[in-house]
Amino acid sequence: EVQLLESGGGLVQPGGSLRLSCAASGFTFSTYAMYWVRQAPGKGLEWVSSISTSGGSTYYADSVKGRFTISRDNSKNTLYLQMNSLRAEDTAVYFCARKCGDCYSFDSWGQGTLVTVSS
Partner 1 sequence: EIVLTQSPGTLSLSPGERATLSCRASQSLNSNYLAWYQQKPGQAPRFLIFGASSRATGIPDRFSGSGSGTDFTLTISRLEPEDFAVYYCQRYDSSSWTFGQGTKVEIK
Q: Nearest to residue 80, comparing CAs of 37, 23, 21? A: 21
Q: Is residue 5 at the binding interface for partner 1, with CB under 8 A as the rule?
A: no
The least distance separating partner 1 from the CB of residue 104, rounded to whole angstroms, comes to 4
From first CA to last CA, the distance across the chain in angstroms is 40
Contact residue for partner 1 among 59, 71, 91, 114 (CB under 8 A): 59
Q: What is the dihedral of CA 91, 63, 70, 50, to 10 degrees?
A: 110
**Binding segment (CB under 8 A) for partner 1, from list 7-15, 16-24, 74-82, 100-108:** 100-108
Q: Point out which residues bind partner 1 (CB under 8 A).
A: 35, 37, 44-47, 50, 59, 61, 95, 100, 103-112
